[in-house]
Structure 1
Amino acid sequence: MKTLNFVLLLLFVATMGFAQNPIFYSISFPNAAHHEAEVVINLTDAPGTTIKMRMSRSSAGRYATHEFGKNIYNLKAVNPDGSALLIKQAEGDLYEIQSHGSTVKISYTLFANYVDGTYSGIDESHAHLNMPATFLWILGQEKRDLMVQFNDLEKYGWKVATQLKHYQANAYTAPDMQYLMDSPTELSAYKEVSWKVTNTDKKEETIRLATHSVDAQPVIDNFATMLQKVVLEEKAVYGELPSYDYGEYVFLQDVYPTDAGDGMEHRNSTCIVETADKVEGNEVYMLSTFAHEYFHSWNVKRIRPKSLEPFNFEHANISGELWFAEGFTQYYGEMLLVRAGFHTADEYAKTMSGLINSVLNTPGAAKYSPIQSSNYAVFADAGVSIDPTNKANMYTSYYYYGGATALALDLRLRSEFNLTLDDYMRQVWLDYGKPYIPYTIADLEKSLAKVTNNKVFATAFFKNFIYGVEKNNYEVLLAKAGYVLRKANPGKAWMGQITAKLNNGNVLINGNSIIGTPIYNAGLDAGDILKKIAGKPVDGSVPLATYLADKKPGDVITIDYQNRTGAHQAQVTLAESPLFEVVTAESAGQTLTKEQQDFRAKWLSSKVKQ
């Protein structure tokens, strides 16, 4: 497409009914081979006081603080006549222009070489842009219209995939800064499939899949057919699709072995980055991320925690509701693949094993509630640090904690009320999502009381399992659906979850030992150098579990180790692993009853009306 001249474009947009002159962004890629872009911001109607501009420190869909400002340089500002303006760097990512006129041109170089859902990545094959990692924004001007012009498309053979509204040629618009920052964009020679879904209100919503990969178009066509089944199963949960801005939702998929991998939800799009070499052969595996992220177009982007409103791009919001926003989404993302026919009942048993172990076999879940786990997201959600933490002993992922809680609530609603978690999610959608009323935890409790018509149950559930650390009886709940919860390694000796690494010929314990495990009780921890286990030298040539092959729970072994206080011997009393596994009753040699068959079918069968 032909690039519009900037001056002519400004004159053109001024006549097109914008509420005000937009802030105009232009991004070009003269040095894409070395991961650089050149960004220009033309600010008209500049504030009469000091112009303050900054790079974000958080990103939509991410809950930890990040430092995007480190990757911009060559920052300059000039008057319309080209004369330079003085820029003061007030903080690491905050800049000020004190003396200026009503129109200012700002420019900088962006370095971007990390393809995931949080950062940006540029090379000659594509520009994968997460906006907080790409664009400076002007403080005090957050409500202004914005326009972005993507240049060099013809040079590289790129097209534009984005939730931004197409305006003219290679120019796109956003109604404000919040929307721009929530609009990832893929510039590449992607392959595309689109289809329409008739919503409950008879309005058609367009779903697009834009995939940047080495696959041929028929592979993407087939994957889109699979994805359509997931979309319809998710629509069935809520009874309707959201009403998407501009009538469109787009999946932005990037697949390449050097990608970082990620999935990141946005209001009318999702960014999905896979580390595979191609889509072909990996379709079902990839659908897991798609199912999770698409469920977010209801749960978190519209069923919105009040703690995330407005989203703060200067530092991460703290949100105690992530067990619901992310955890319940985690549950549905995997369970719906069973309803859609992509996973079997046996495969889903393995998923449930992970969820249940996360709440029954982690120190964090034993001591801290789902709310407290959610609050830790400001540090845990891909937060960057170089110093070790004690997360293993005080944090349980709100994804799995919330997922396990959703599993229990679904089974309890089915067995105690002849209701489902779908009914509850639909109630929350109608109460808070569809009218876009940001909710609190107390609001979620009210919706549970409403859908069950039982305030006592709702109050007790939230008191015990959301505010508290009590755990549901998964063995009893799963049995109703013909699943068996049992020990994963009965009768086998275990000394704890322990990993090691080889460092200059020494085998070091790598990672904190876990509270309550045999090695923790014996005093071993990260950094200790293992010399012998049960009298056998440790050299890193075999897995540590090999040393226990002839042992049983209750045996006492000696571990010789060294640390900065000298050489030591620890007496370790071996135990049986506390880890559980979930299996189908059939695979456990049991016969399903008619009640169990019916319960499982009602739970895990497709809800899409043919």
Structure 2
Amino acid sequence: MKKILGVALLLTLTMAAKSQVKIGFEVSFKEPQAHYAEVEMNMSGIAAKDYVDLKMPVWTPGSYLVREFGKNVESFTATVNGKPAKVQKVTKNTWRVFNAKAAALKVNYRVYAFEISVRTAFIDESHAFLSSAGIFMYPAGMIKNPSTVKIVPFGKWDKVSTGLEPVAGQKFTYHAADFDILFDSPIEVGNQDIFEFTASGVKHEVAMYGGGNYDKERLKVDMAKIVEQGTAIFGDNPNKHYTFIVHNYAQGGGGLEHLNSTVLGASRNAYGTEKGYKGFLSLVAHEYFHLWNVKRLRPVALGPFDYDNENYTTNLWTAEGFTSYYENKLLIRAGATNQATFLNDLIGGLGTVINTPGAKFQSASSSSFDAWIIGYRPNENSKNSSISYYSKGEVVGMLMDLEIANATKGAKSLDDVMKAMYEQGKVQKRGYTDAEFKAMVEKISGISFTNFWAKYIDGVDDIDFEKFLAYAGIDAKAEIASPNKPYTGATLTVTRSVNVGGVSRNSPAWFQGLNVNDEILALDGSSIGDEMRNIKLPNPGLTLESLPTIAKKQVGDVVEVTVKRDGMEKKISLTLKESPNVRIKASYNDNATAQQLAVRKRWMGI
């Protein structure tokens, strides 16, 4: 009994200490044109210690790369009792403030923010985007402490958009229950165009920066449909409000999920085309599906987070790959695409995996684990040795979905697995292990998935897509994409010179030693200037075999390539082969059986 009372007393004292510590931030912008945020951090109620360590995360959740946000911090100073305090930097992301057992301190620092992406802060004279993990510091050991954030907009800026909870009666002031929530809540400051819609009982705010040819009323309708289809899968929408922060640039892309918000990159003038509009809705569907998958239904390693180091998991093929898969399912269920496009999009993803040489060398689980060193840092050989957990996970999701639907004769699908895992996570209050996910798949389907896991998740077996698609009455086959056409396996980059940008495994360029960065001077004596005369640029898909001299040749012919490497000319003879890349053709079978039609209906959800 005494031991129990002692534990209870310790918990009470810990909670009391937590409640006594107050942490507040104020962010202002004295020089936004120079890309700086001014951060003031005030702490009070600190325990009597000689120093306090303040830490900046080295990465941001959802983007699996150590980005070293501390490199952007400068002019770090501290004040205790109105006097300057000693500061010592003790690690790459830790500043030690010696407060002489004082109960309060104030810290000021500047953050340089000039990297355009959905993962990193960016500030200029037109707006400020604060990716919170790269802006705010936390006291060591106090990750679960609450904090407030006050934004002081610059000049004529008059709007703030964020998923953080507003503090009543205090303009542009917000509350975070802990630092995990703060780091998961980006903030947009400026004059963004804001519109709202309600879906699944939740108010959604859309904050558009950068202008564009978007139609607000159309977006309200279509985005609401996507929200409702995602909610229908899981049975509830866990948010009180949700914020879309959309950055419209001349050429934009990408997205990053957060607990009750997302940041999307878009092209400002692409909304007016069918392809561009569908692409934006696909991005909306992907990031919104993350509201459940990753932010709540998550691999066990992804929370609580270690903000100092990598957080390894073998399950990004479910976290990201399945989300890529479900963006297609949400779109067709929302009426934003048709059955033909739905199938073509999935077949396109399948083709990407099959035609990536690295798919034969790296598994989905290994790709997930290596995200920190390969996924965001690909080099010229990555396509030959690795596979994206996005693309492989999307294919695995499709295969698993079809297998479950077929095993249950159309009664169940991957939807049922996702919902059951979501509910299980709410009960367990933690993430899932790979074994737990597999167990749920087997429970829902009623069959073993041991071989499936060995082949497609932990292994690199060829994908038997014909069998799986046939479950839904879809006829599919692979054929050579460019039969009898010459192929070198070398892609090109064009700047002031024409250089080799990539070499595919087991291609003529691979075997004969053509290197990435080799400057192409001539083909069979024809200067590269003559070869490029009628090539339209920019051309990101330019290959060596698309140049006139090689395009006229036959499979089996030899071409002499003159290159410059390390300042010296070199001649390399390539024997041209037929490309191994395949194109998958798939179509719905009009004579599908009753079970195939039941599987198809359950699979698509329409």
Structures share fold, TM-score greater than 0.5: yes
- Seen in structure 2, the aligned counterparts of structure 1 residues 278 and 211 have a Cα distance that, compared at 3 Å, is farther
- Seen in structure 2, the aligned counterparts of structure 1 residues 551 and 423 have a Cα distance that, compared at 3 Å, is farther
* Correspondence 1:460-499 to 2 at 5 A: 460-479=451-470, 480-487=472-479, 489-499=481-491
Tell me if structure 1 keeps the 8 A contact 2:153–2:190: no
Aligned residues: 568
State how far apart, in whole Å, the 2-side matches of 1:420 and 1:53 are. 47
**Mean CA deviation greater in 339-348 or 182-191:** 339-348
Question: What does residue 135 of structure 1 align with?
Answer: 136
- Unaligned stretches of 5+ in structure 1? 1-16, 199-203
How many Å apart are 1:280 and its aligned residue? 5.0
Question: What does residue 27 of structure 2 align with?
Answer: 27
Given the alignment of the two structures, is residue 205 of structure 1 paired with residue 202 of structure 2, yes or no?
A: yes
Question: What does residue 592 of structure 1 align with?
Answer: 590
Task: Provide Cα deviations, 1:4-39, integer angstroms capped at 9, x if missing partner.
Answer: xxxxxxxxxxxxx99334201001122223222211
State how far apart, in whole Å, the 1-side matches of 2:476 and 2:231 are. 30
Given the alignment of the two structures, is residue 375 of structure 1 paired with residue 369 of structure 2, yes or no?
A: yes
Task: Provide Cα deviations, 1:73-123, integer angstroms capped at 9, x if missing partner.
Answer: 111111232x11111122333211234322111001222122322111123
State how far apart, in whole Å, the 1-side matches of 2:390 and 2:142 are. 35
How many Å apart are 1:487 and its aligned residue? 2.5
How many Å apart are 1:326 and its aligned residue? 0.4
Q: What SS does structure 2 have at the residue aligned with 1:585?
A: strand
State how far apart, in whole Å, the 1-side matches of 2:599 and 2:477 are. 15
State how far apart, in whole Å, the 2-side matches of 1:20 and 1:99 are. 17
Task: Provide Cα deviations, 1:166-219, integer angstroms capped at 9, x if missing partner.
Answer: 113221111111111111111233333333344xxxxx3333323234258x82
- Seen in structure 2, the aligned counterparts of structure 1 residues 554 and 565 have a Cα distance that, compared at 3 Å, is same
Tell me if structure 2 keeps the 8 A contact 1:212–1:254: yes
How many Å apart are 1:531 and its aligned residue? 3.6
Tell me if structure 2 keeps the 8 A contact 1:500–1:510: yes
Tell me if structure 1 keeps the 8 A contact 2:474–2:586: yes
Given the alignment of the two structures, is residue 400 of structure 1 paired with residue 391 of structure 2, yes or no?
A: yes
Percent of paired sites with the same residue: 26
Question: What does residue 229 of structure 2 align with?
Answer: 233
State how far apart, in whole Å, the 2-side matches of 1:436 and 1:55 are. 27
Question: What does residue 244 of structure 2 align with?
Answer: 251
- Seen in structure 2, the aligned counterparts of structure 1 residues 381 and 173 have a Cα distance that, compared at 3 Å, is farther
- Seen in structure 2, the aligned counterparts of structure 1 residues 368 and 187 have a Cα distance that, compared at 3 Å, is same
- Seen in structure 2, the aligned counterparts of structure 1 residues 350 and 534 have a Cα distance that, compared at 3 Å, is farther
* Counterpart pick for 2:421 among 428, 431, 440: 428
State how far apart, in whole Å, the 2-side matches of 1:440 and 1:227 are. 32
How many Å apart are 1:516 and its aligned residue? 1.3
Question: What does residue 263 of structure 1 align with?
Answer: 255
> Taking structure 1 as the reference length, what is the TM-score of the superposition?
0.86
- Seen in structure 2, the aligned counterparts of structure 1 residues 348 and 551 have a Cα distance that, compared at 3 Å, is farther
Q: What SS does structure 1 have at the residue aligned with 2:28?
A: strand
* Correspondence 1:123-162 to 2 at 5 A: 123-152=124-153, 155-162=155-162
How many Å apart are 1:350 and its aligned residue? 4.1
Question: What does residue 196 of structure 2 align with?
Answer: 194
The one-letter code sitting in structure 2 at the alignment partner of 1:265 is E
Question: What does residue 435 of structure 2 align with?
Answer: 442
How many Å apart are 1:351 and its aligned residue? 2.4
Task: Provide Cα deviations, 1:118-159, integer angstroms capped at 9, x if missing partner.
Answer: 111123332211101111222122221101111136x42422
The one-letter code sitting in structure 1 at the alignment partner of 2:396 is T
Tell me if structure 2 keeps the 8 A contact 1:193–1:221: no
Tell me if structure 1 keeps the 8 A contact 2:127–2:157: no
State how far apart, in whole Å, the 2-side matches of 1:124 and 1:502 are. 33
* Correspondence 1:527-566 to 2 at 5 A: 527-534=517-524, 536-539=526-529, 540-541=532-533, 542=535, 544=544, 545-546=546-547, 547-564=549-566
State how far apart, in whole Å, the 2-side matches of 1:275 and 1:338 are. 23
* Correspondence 1:66-77 to 2 at 5 A: 66-77=67-78
Question: What does residue 514 of structure 2 align with?
Answer: 524
How many Å apart are 1:526 and its aligned residue? 0.9
State how far apart, in whole Å, the 1-side matches of 2:163 and 2:31 are. 26
**Mean CA deviation greater in 156-165 or 296-305:** 156-165
Question: What does residue 3 of structure 1 align with?
Answer: none
Task: Provide Cα deviations, 1:255-307, integer angstroms capped at 9, x if missing partner.
Answer: 1327x643111111111122434755543221111111111111111111111
Tell me if structure 1 keeps the 8 A contact 2:249–2:268: yes
Q: What SS does structure 2 have at the residue aligned with 1:448?
A: helix
Question: What does residue 45 of structure 2 align with?
Answer: 45
State how far apart, in whole Å, the 1-side matches of 2:224 and 2:64 are. 29
State how far apart, in whole Å, the 2-side matches of 1:215 and 1:575 are. 46
RMSD: 2.8
- Seen in structure 2, the aligned counterparts of structure 1 residues 221 and 498 have a Cα distance that, compared at 3 Å, is same
- Seen in structure 2, the aligned counterparts of structure 1 residues 443 and 581 have a Cα distance that, compared at 3 Å, is same
* Correspondence 1:560-575 to 2 at 5 A: 560-564=562-566, 567-575=569-577
State how far apart, in whole Å, the 2-side matches of 1:518 and 1:369 are. 26
**Mean CA deviation greater in 279-288 or 393-402:** 279-288
**Mean CA deviation greater in 484-493 or 285-294:** 484-493
Question: What does residue 357 of structure 1 align with?
Answer: 351
Question: What does residue 602 of structure 1 align with?
Answer: 601
The one-letter code sitting in structure 2 at the alignment partner of 1:458 is F
Given the alignment of the two structures, is residue 172 of structure 1 paired with residue 174 of structure 2, yes or no?
A: yes
State how far apart, in whole Å, the 1-side matches of 2:468 and 2:524 are. 41
State how far apart, in whole Å, the 1-side matches of 2:301 and 2:111 are. 31
State how far apart, in whole Å, the 2-side matches of 1:164 and 1:95 are. 26
Given the alignment of the two structures, is residue 391 of structure 1 paired with residue 388 of structure 2, yes or no?
A: no
Q: What SS does structure 2 have at the residue aligned with 1:338?
A: helix
Q: What SS does structure 2 have at the residue aligned with 1:471?
A: coil
How many Å apart are 1:380 and its aligned residue? 3.4
State how far apart, in whole Å, the 2-side matches of 1:548 and 1:599 are. 50
Task: Provide Cα deviations, 1:488-534, integer angstroms capped at 9, x if missing partner.
Answer: 52423242442223466x532123x1211221122212122334435
The one-letter code sitting in structure 1 at the alignment partner of 2:501 is N
- Seen in structure 2, the aligned counterparts of structure 1 residues 34 and 562 have a Cα distance that, compared at 3 Å, is closer
Tell me if structure 1 keeps the 8 A contact 2:361–2:386: no
How many Å apart are 1:603 and its aligned residue? 5.4
The one-letter code sitting in structure 2 at the alignment partner of 1:500 is L
The one-letter code sitting in structure 1 at the alignment partner of 2:149 is V
State how far apart, in whole Å, the 2-side matches of 1:45 and 1:18 are. 9
State how far apart, in whole Å, the 2-side matches of 1:46 and 1:516 are. 63
The one-letter code sitting in structure 2 at the alignment partner of 1:221 is E
Tell me if structure 1 keeps the 8 A contact 2:380–2:501: no
State how far apart, in whole Å, the 2-side matches of 1:476 and 1:306 are. 33
The one-letter code sitting in structure 2 at the alignment partner of 1:237 is I
Tell me if structure 1 keeps the 8 A contact 2:270–2:277: no
- Seen in structure 2, the aligned counterparts of structure 1 residues 603 and 519 have a Cα distance that, compared at 3 Å, is farther
How many Å apart are 1:163 and its aligned residue? 1.5
Tell me if structure 2 keeps the 8 A contact 1:556–1:572: yes
The one-letter code sitting in structure 2 at the alignment partner of 1:66 is R
Q: What SS does structure 2 have at the residue aligned with 1:510?
A: strand
State how far apart, in whole Å, the 1-side matches of 2:494 and 2:325 are. 37
Task: Provide Cα deviations, 1:339-368, integer angstroms capped at 9, x if missing partner.
Answer: 322223343344234422333222321012
- Seen in structure 2, the aligned counterparts of structure 1 residues 514 and 180 have a Cα distance that, compared at 3 Å, is same
- Seen in structure 2, the aligned counterparts of structure 1 residues 471 and 437 have a Cα distance that, compared at 3 Å, is farther
The one-letter code sitting in structure 1 at the alignment partner of 2:597 is D
Question: What does residue 79 of structure 1 align with?
Answer: 80
Question: What does residue 89 of structure 1 align with?
Answer: 89
Q: What SS does structure 2 have at the residue aligned with 1:380?
A: coil
